[in-house]
Amino acid sequence: MTQSNRPACTSCPNSPLTVDHVLISCPLYKEIRKRFFPYPLPSLKNLLLNTHPVKLFEFMRSTNLKI
Ligand SMILES: [Zn+2]
């Protein structure tokens, strides 16, 4: 699979569906994000460094996305 085959976000057609889009910027997951992560959000790097992998996994599961 190449980069150009990446699906776009369902609610943001101009945004590729990437980990940082889902974790940080997508408005669609704002409410789920608030349940799992501190607010306001740190950078993606800090979020990944400071968040337990289980929590990240639970977040991804809540979004019903498979990335
Ligand atoms: Zn989005």
Which one-letter amino acid corresponds to residue 54? V
| Res 1: pLDDT | 47
CB 62 within 8 A of CB 37: no
> Given this model, what pLDDT does residue 46 score?
95
27-53 tens-digit pLDDT: 999 999 999 998 899 999 999 999 999
Q: What is the pTM of this model?
A: 0.79
Whole-number Å distance, alpha carbon 20 to ligand 1 midpoint, is: 10
What H or E segment, with its residue span, contains residue 18? none
Give the distance (Å) from ligand 1 centre to CA of residue 31.
13
Distance between Cα 61 and ligand 1 center (Å): 16
What's the pLDDT score for residue 6? Answer: 75
